[in-house]
């Protein structure tokens, strides 16, 4: 089975580097100038592409592979999929995005299924930073695919000596874990940025995890999926590390500082999407709602924390 990765950003390149250590892989990027000339990504300086990686801007050639990994921002996935004209019958389509599409209010696997109902969608997600994967540091991820046999095949194909994939059939749960943890990470970053302390961060992580599980169950996911790598594992990493873009964004909000507009912060759009879903389903998700208002400047960190702390006392 041949492999192609779509997306020449940090995460897509890191996956290509890891997979390319053990098997040939095609890396598609819109602009391949830097990748071709220097054999490394500008987003991952000093991390060379192995000989097994072929870089191409040719969309048709890349879609000819058997397993296609879509490593791009969530809000870009649908528009990018529109550009692919070839039928993808029988191929494994693996979304490597973390978020909820603002237009359809669905996750990445659903976007792929809508575009190619004849193919099998899956999602690769979990606690990981691109630089760690590219350096060959031990990383464990969740590969969720409803078709167990195909999931096993892709698991074996993409796993490497340092990139360990655990398999699941709960695609919705894996999607939501990866999406929602970014929202909670923004809240935790704002908490630390505002000087509210680690105890407050721990409370936000815990109550945020309860919201993640509540929404996932309402959308048909298995609660135990959220306790795994794609949920609790990713939440822990993203809420506690300065390497997380979502945490750094929240940190800037908490400090009242500007944030680099060129950096993709998936949790900001996801928070708004989650708030709409919660309203439609009559769910109460106060942390997610607070983050949605923070990202649109409808409230301040101080006001958001006051609102959360003044909620009626309840049983855990």
Active site residues: 181
In 3D, which of 244, 242, 266, 259 has the Cα closest to residue 297?
259
Which helix (H) or strand (E) covers residue 275, if one does?
A: helix 266-281
Structure token pair of residue 8: 């020449």
- CB contact set of 149 (below 8 Å; sequence gap of 6+): none
- Strands 53-56, 67-70: pairing is unpaired
Query: Read out DSSP for 140-185?
Result: EEEEEESSHHHHHHHHHHH--SSEEEEEES-HHHHHHHHHHHHHHH
* Other Cβ atoms closer than 10 A to 83: 7
Distance of CA 297 to the CA centre of its chain: 24
Backbone angles phi, psi at 144, to 5 degrees: -105, 125
- Distances from the Cα of 202 to the Cαs of 28, 235, 301, in angstroms? 40, 11, 17
């Amino acid at each position: 089975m041949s492999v192609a990765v779509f997306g020449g950003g940090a995460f897509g390149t890191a996956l290509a580097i890891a997979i390319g250590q053990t098997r040939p892989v095609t890396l598609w990027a819109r602009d391949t100038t830097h990748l071709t000339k220097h054999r490394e990504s500008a987003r991952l300086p000093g991390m060379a592409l192995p000989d097994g990686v072929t870089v191409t801007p040719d969309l048709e050639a890349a879609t000819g592979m058997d397993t296609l990994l879509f490593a791009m921002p969530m809000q870009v996935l649908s528009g990018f999929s529109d550009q692919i004209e070839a039928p993808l019958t029988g191929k494994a389509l693996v979304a490597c995005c973390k978020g909820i599409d603002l237009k359809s209010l669905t996750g990445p696997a659903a976007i792929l299924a809508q575009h190619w109902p004849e193919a099998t969608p899956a999602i690769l997600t979990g606690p990981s930073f691109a630089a760690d994967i590219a350096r060959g540091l031990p990383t464990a991820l969740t590969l969720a695919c409803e078709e167990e046999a195909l999931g096993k095949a892709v698991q074996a194909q993409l796993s490497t000596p340092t990139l360990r994939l655990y398999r699941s059939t709960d695609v919705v749960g894996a999607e939501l874990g990866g999406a929602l943890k970014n929202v909670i990470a923004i809240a935790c970053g704002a908490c630390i940025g505002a000087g509210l302390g680690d105890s407050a961060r721990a409370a936000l992580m815990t109550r945020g995890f309860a919201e993640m599980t509540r929404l996932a169950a309402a959308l048909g996911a298995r609660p135990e999926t959220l306790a795994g790598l794609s949920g609790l594992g990713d939440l822990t990493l993203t809420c506690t590390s300065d390497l997380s873009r979502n945490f750094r964004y929240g940190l800037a909000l908490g400090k009242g500082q500007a944030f680099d507009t060129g950096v993709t912060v998936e949790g900001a759009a996801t928070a708004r999407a989650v708030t709409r879903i919660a309203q439609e389903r009559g769910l109460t998700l106060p942390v997610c709602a607070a983050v949605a208002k923070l990202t649109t400047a409808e409230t301040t960190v101080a006001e958001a924390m006051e609102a959360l702390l003044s909620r009626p006392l309840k049983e855990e």
